[in-house]
Structure 1
Amino acid sequence: MLSEYTAPARTALARGDGHMASQQYPVEVQPDFLKKITGAKPVQALAELIWNGLDADAKEVGVSFDYNELDTLSTVVVRDDGAGIPRDKAPEYFRRLGGSWKRPGASTPAGRFLHGQEGRGRFKAFAIGDYAEWAVVYDKDGAPWSYKITMSAADIRHVSISDEAEAPGAKRGVTLTITEPHKDFRTFVSEAGLHSLTEVFALYLADYTDVQVTIGGHRIDPKAVISNRKSFNVADIQAGDVTHSAKLEIVEWKGVSNRALFLCNEKRFPLAQADRRFHVGDFQFTAYLETSYLSAAQKEGTVELAEMQAPLVAAIDESVRLIKDYFRQRAAQAARGYVEEWKAERVYPFDEEPKTQVEQVERQVFDIVAVNVARLLPDFEEGHKQNKALHLRMLRQAIEKSPEELQLILSEVLKLPKRKQEELADLLRDVSLSAIISSAKVVADRLRFLSGLEAILFDAEPKKRLKERSQLHRILAQNTWLFGEEFSLSVDDQSLTEVLRKHKKLLGDDIVIDAPVKHVSQERGIVDLMLSQAMRRHRANSLAHLVVELKAPKVKLDRDEISQIEGYAASVTADERFRNVDVQWQFWAISDDLGPVGKFRVGKGDGEIMRHDNVAIFLKTWAQVIDENRARLQFYQEKLEYQADKGSSLKHLQEHYAKYLEGVLDRAPEDAEPGAAEGPASGDEPRSA
């Protein structure tokens, strides 16, 4: 577009009023774009004009308002004592919209970070009035020189710049005078207007304490709106061969409703806002993720795609986690007074201090919710001690279970306001927080289950008394995750015919079951457990079945047991109804140990003794099954800092499976010694091999 203007149109105005001659320059942009950027909201526009002075290293920027005899606004003046604009640079600064000298990531000569970019700020004057004049004083060869720049909203595509002249005694800086204002703009000096401008400049003024900004005689004080600031290091962002450091700063506001995470260059200039929501109670904040990665992205024109770039997404996710952790800790800290009182009253539903990180998170969430309830219910603290203890126990149980359980108690029992119900439930509904609490409970319960199962299978006396069908079988039917997370229980202790009926239910009605499945070696074959998995493959209705034959702990897997499990597999293979459907079959026989033939058949492998077409047979020991499960849970065990001990594990089994363990554990788990119980068990006898 520069080629359209080979030379500026000179207008030598030989006026008799003493004005210097000026040159007129075209503004190289289309009018509709100029109209868009000059249509900013007044407070926003004024803020941009103030930034222009700060970007010129001004120590003082003041905005004043002149009124006529009718007390109507006539002039808005923005003065700064910055470096000014050299006359030879002015045409470049005002002619080109875009390609500003204020490069992203650049600093002022005094080392401050630059706010402006794209050269748009100066045009915001026309969001306030129709005529703008910049009186510029700058240092040239050690002496002050001055000139003027004028623009009119009526001819916004042209800017007039006067010749310069020496100005002895003049103070450097720029005075912008805006006349013919669009309206009275009392909003600039209203409480709301001053508050908005304070939000804009509070951080800058907090960083550069020797700078001051005054609006209509009111000095902006960052201490009035900033309650707290906290910085965190974020993991470096690796982009190809370049490593970009990253930092997160959280600024808490007083009396400001705002929650946002801005993506900034390393000078904390916001380039984009992350699309994230935060449930942090009553805290109001702005967070700034600062990294030179964003400067590089801006140069490449990819800032708008920031949340699609994997290196930055990881930094954003880490920042979100840091923000939530920070405010959860702040809220829990604020709750300590209540908690100490509850402990003194002995109504607090926890007896011990948290020992692991997971327990600390769960305790923080409980404290936050409970204190909110106490504050919102006037009668809570004055209530009877037993009622208070009951409410706190209900909250604990709800938090351990789910957000839905919590919301039910908040609404139906405690009758909290709807907005507060949602806010507190959202705290638990947060994916990472809910996951860590629920995962902790699942993993802890499973680790306890494994240790308890190991005790009743291998400790001498419990092992002797444990019955396969009525006890071990029933417990395992409720814990099919032992055999693989992907399987669900389909058949529990049923004949092979029932196995086929279950198979038909999964695959459709095109298979007619008009006769029992004949076991190859006996009239009826009993299957202990059959687990099913729907598999995503290239054909529809593709299934995998795991058939588990359980043996009493004292029975070794040997010739007879192998014959039995192979008989089940042979029956499936021989039945034409099973052959006509797409199913993968695995058959497991499980007991405490292997006999000589079992050891020979297994060798040193994973227990597989036969594989043919879509059928595989395995011999497994309980030690192997338990070890495999412990290996699956090892990562979580380390992360959750959890270690199951035998006492709590046996207690867990007895609490959850008491009706299946009668006579196995004679005394309370915390008192019992392995092998201490005496006497034979009553009831059904263990099933023989």
Structure 2
Amino acid sequence: MRRVHLEAAEDHVQRLARESDPLGAVKELIWNALDADATRVDVVLHRSPLGAVERVTVRDDGTGMAPEALAAAFDRIGGSWKKWTAGTLLKQRTLHGSNGQGRLRAYALGDHLRWTTVADGVGGRSRTEVAAHAGARNDFLIGDSEPTRSGTGTLVEAWGKQSPRLDRLPLRANHRRLTTELAPYLTAYPEVTVVYDGVPVDPRTSVARTAVYPLTFATAAGDTEEAQLKVIEWSTPVERELHLCDRHGIPVGSVDVGIRAPGFDFTAYVLWHATADHVGDVQLGDGHDSEVTALVAAAREQLRAHFRSRVDDRRRELVARWRTEGDYPYEADGGLEQETFDLVATTVHRHIPRRGNQRRATLALLREVLRARPDRVADLLGTIFKLSDDDRSQLDRVLRETDRVIRAAATVADRLEVIGALRRLTADGADPERLRPVLAGNTWVFGDRHGLLAGDRTLDVVLDRHAGPDADLLVAQTRREHERLQHLVVLGSDTAGAKDLTQLSAYAEAVAADTRYRGIRVDWEVWLVVRGLVASSPDDGRVRVRTWNEVLLECTDRVRFFEQSAAYPDRALRA
């Protein structure tokens, strides 16, 4: 037995162990096994009768460590043989580690460590044990090698530590974290199998979608570099990470993903041939000026573009499914209100019931909320769905971005409803008593510039003083703007003959010349709206004669134009 002493300060060794990160230790041991050409790696979490993790073992079928190489593997930090080769020794697979620190990370898993390795060396195949203890972190005891016919590989055992962090190792979230980090490697080398706590780490079982994009970015010297961004969307929840990898997809480090993409579980991988040469920049993060900073910025911009497109894709997929299952509350396609409904409904889709009748009723209720109270959509949906703080924040952000659209959609819906009501009222005869209350609050029917008119006592007196044509007074309203008055007078009749038109023009001239408005600038519009035929249609800017059908068709065209021209806000996901 030999004692190998690691030439490094013990506190430095302790820092390198990163004992607060046991999953990181497991990952390092897995990468060590893969760098040794392993085709299978088994991570076993041994539990006590009470369920606590009391031992962790990592077994692989790689090439192992030959007896003559063991001393060099344990007596120094850095200087790993991996620095001097481009790939693994036998299979020439991409290497992960090159700093020789993996063995120190094992202290995060236990106070007692043991490596049992079988390898082919100068004297043939042999088995050797290496032991270490946290009480003397810098000392490694290398046992005598014994000949063996067993298959090559290494078993790493760690025990003797009680820690809540160890007890969290079995969590499914840790299996998912391993899956996201190993995904590029396992995809590139499908012959490799990694099993964690009895469950294979297989990205294929949970990958929902994969996209790859080219990246270009400028270096500090002004040169242009090329890289690649790979985005994997998962069907199960994962922690979002942006991994910086070499050109083969082997992670060198990771940074904050830096974008908001509500509702998506994804991992992003930046593949660049020189990432390994910038390990120091990766560890410093993206808060300084370097190639890594420029690379990360380019990756984040492409991620935003990717998820802008994916939001639209997901919206279409959800709406298509609701249509197919008969739950969608609209029959026709298009319209500002419908687009707004799609945006809001797909934002809160996780809270909408899945059962047919309940989902149908909820979507119909949401449509009515948007129509009736667009200004209270967030409050009402928060109450109905009991949204979490994150969901409420996401909905508030969407509503802020689309506030103008929601209001425009409500305006369109209200106006189309008024137009429909007027069509019904005028279809079989225009009853003045029923028309007046509808028109009084909707003078925009006769032009958008009339939308802010209101009743005026002076105008009523003037109209009473002048005898008009044989028609019913439907609207008489005014708007004052600075020193100018805008008057609208609408009369209704069944038909309009030549005599009626003559009387209408005389009436308009008389009220416009009334002494009450002498010296005041007044814009007049006098309309005669009829249900039947019009003898002729004078239109001098002051007197207008239209059928109800013409008025409502023109009004509908204006509403549809407003609906189409209302600029839809950018729904991009913002960082």
1:274 aligns with 256
2:213 aligns with 233
1:5 aligns with none
1:510 aligns with none
1:410 aligns with 381
2:95 aligns with 114
Find out whether 1:248 has 2:220 as its counterpart. Answer: no
Q: In structure 2, what residue type is equivalent to 1:151?
A: A
How many residues align? The count is 420
1:130 to 1:380, Cα distance in 2 relative to 1, 3 A: closer
Aligned counterpart in structure 2 of residue 350 of structure 1, from 334, 337, 356: 334
1:314 to 1:70, Cα distance in 2 relative to 1, 3 A: closer
Q: TM-score, normalization: structure 2?
A: 0.58
2:303 aligns with 319
Alignment partners' CA distance in 2, 1:100 and 1:24:
16
Alignment partners' CA distance in 1, 2:252 and 2:46:
33
Q: In structure 2, what residue type is equivalent to 1:278?
A: R
Alignment partners' CA distance in 1, 2:67 and 2:523:
94
Q: In structure 1, what residue type is equivalent to 2:31?
A: W
2:346 aligns with 368
1:422 aligns with 393
2:286 aligns with 305
1:124 aligns with 105
> How many Å apart are 1:82 and its aligned residue?
0.9
Alignment partners' CA distance in 2, 1:187 and 1:422:
30
> How many Å apart are 1:319 and its aligned residue?
1.9
1:220 to 1:171, Cα distance in 2 relative to 1, 3 A: same
SS at match of 1:336: helix
Alignment partners' CA distance in 2, 1:34 and 1:268:
26
Alignment partners' CA distance in 1, 2:172 and 2:107:
24
* C-alpha contact (below 8 Å) 1:264/1:271 kept by paired residues: yes
2:157 aligns with 177
> How many Å apart are 1:343 and its aligned residue?
9.5
* C-alpha contact (below 8 Å) 1:280/1:327 kept by paired residues: no
Deviations 1:236-294, CA, capped at 9 Å, x for gaps: 2232465433322233334434333334333240512235242422x322222333353
> How many Å apart are 1:376 and its aligned residue?
8.7
Q: TM-score, normalization: structure 1?
A: 0.49
Runs of at least 5 residues in structure 2 that lack an aligned partner in the other structure: 410-447, 450-481, 483-521, 530-535, 544-575
Q: In structure 1, what residue type is equivalent to 2:394?
A: E
1:163 to 1:324, Cα distance in 2 relative to 1, 3 A: farther
Q: In structure 1, what residue type is equivalent to 2:360?
A: E
| Residue range with higher mean Cα deviation, 337-346 or 90-99 | 337-346
SS at match of 1:423: helix
1:367 to 1:128, Cα distance in 2 relative to 1, 3 A: closer
* C-alpha contact (below 8 Å) 2:60/2:153 kept by paired residues: yes
Alignment partners' CA distance in 1, 2:81 and 2:527:
81
Alignment partners' CA distance in 2, 1:661 and 1:275:
60
Deviations 1:487-522, CA, capped at 9 Å, x for gaps: xxxxxxxxxxxxxxxxxxxxxxxxxxxxxxxxxxxx
Q: In structure 2, what residue type is equivalent to 1:334?
A: L
Find out whether 1:139 has 2:117 as its counterpart. Answer: no
1:352 to 1:91, Cα distance in 2 relative to 1, 3 A: same
Deviations 1:61-116, CA, capped at 9 Å, x for gaps: 22457799999987644321112234454344323334544459954343434333
> How many Å apart are 1:233 and its aligned residue?
0.8
Alignment partners' CA distance in 2, 1:415 and 1:66:
43
Runs of at least 5 residues in structure 1 that lack an aligned partner in the other structure: 1-20, 399-403, 442-473, 476-528, 530-659, 668-675, 684-689
SS at match of 1:332: helix
> How many Å apart are 1:388 and its aligned residue?
6.3
* C-alpha contact (below 8 Å) 2:175/2:201 kept by paired residues: no
> How many Å apart are 1:341 and its aligned residue?
6.5
Alignment partners' CA distance in 2, 1:254 and 1:422:
23
Aligned counterpart in structure 2 of residue 97 of structure 1, from 67, 77, 88: 77
> How many Å apart are 1:156 and its aligned residue?
0.9
SS at match of 2:360: coil
Q: In structure 1, what residue type is equivalent to 2:30?
A: I
SS at match of 2:270: strand
SS at match of 1:381: helix
Find out whether 1:381 has 2:365 as its counterpart. Answer: no
Alignment partners' CA distance in 1, 2:398 and 2:41:
43
> How many Å apart are 1:347 and its aligned residue?
5.6
Alignment partners' CA distance in 1, 2:62 and 2:38:
4
Q: In structure 2, what residue type is equivalent to 1:264?
A: C
* C-alpha contact (below 8 Å) 2:39/2:193 kept by paired residues: yes
Identical-pair percentage: 22
Alignment partners' CA distance in 2, 1:38 and 1:662:
83
Q: In structure 1, what residue type is equivalent to 2:279?
A: Q
Alignment partners' CA distance in 2, 1:68 and 1:350:
62
2:436 aligns with none
1:616 aligns with none
* C-alpha contact (below 8 Å) 1:234/1:319 kept by paired residues: no
Alignment partners' CA distance in 2, 1:661 and 1:349:
41
Q: In structure 2, what residue type is equivalent to 1:273?
A: V
SS at match of 2:77: coil
SS at match of 1:305: coil
Alignment partners' CA distance in 2, 1:297 and 1:415:
48
> How many Å apart are 1:680 and its aligned residue?
4.0
1:172 to 1:41, Cα distance in 2 relative to 1, 3 A: same
